[in-house]
Structure 1
Amino acid sequence: MLGGISIWQLLIVLGIIILIFGTKKLRNVGSDLGGAVKGFKKAMHEEEKGEEKDDTQTQARVDHKEETNTYDVQAERKPEEQEERK
């Protein structure tokens, strides 16, 4: 028994639902529900991959920023100023 509901009561309710909605509509609802669950699982899996990718990209950006902190003063001067300094 399922908490006071017998199998016969469940079959009667299922029969009434089939009579009201029809098997084709119930099949469509079932496939739509299955597709929604599959899409949700796929999105969750992609989100986990995205978080791992974001962590890697963030680390790469930090490493890149550390490398670009040097400043070449001579490269910023005009060619005339560089000749005067020589």
Structure 2
Amino acid sequence: MGSLSIWHWLIVLVVVLLLFGRGKIPELMGDMAKGIKSFKKGMSDDEAEEAKTVEHQADEPVKNAKEKASKS
């Protein structure tokens, strides 16, 4: 009773095909793949921006210290 038989899966497959049609399922999967690719690209872009921000912030105290030392 807890597991689904092959007949249950076949009925589910037929219902899904009736709802979405044969051509719609590959189209949906292609859109999903594009979404995943753009998500990964966005994540790598965010990491690159964070690296630049951290590098920039690390240089500021050194520059400020050098400016103070040259003014003294």
What TM-score results when the alignment is normalised by the length of structure 1?
0.62
Q: Which residue number corresponds to residue 22 of structure 1? A: 21
Gaps of 5+ in 1: 73-86
Secondary structure in structure 1 of the residue aligned to 2:3: coil
The amino acid of 1:44's aligned partner reads M
- How many Å apart are 1:13 and its aligned residue? 0.9
Gaps of 5+ in 2: none
Q: How many residues align?
A: 70
The alignment's C-alpha RMSD in Å is: 2.1
- How many Å apart are 1:12 and its aligned residue? 2.2
Q: Which residue number corresponds to residue 4 of structure 2? A: 5
CA change 1:29–1:57 in 2 (3 A) is same
User: How much identity, in percent, do the aligned residues show?
Assistant: 30
Question: Which is richer in helix?
Answer: 2
| Poorly superposed stretches of 4+, deviation over 6 Å | none
What TM-score results when the alignment is normalised by the length of structure 2?
0.71
Point out which structure has higher relative CO (alpha carbons under 8 A, 6+ apart).
1
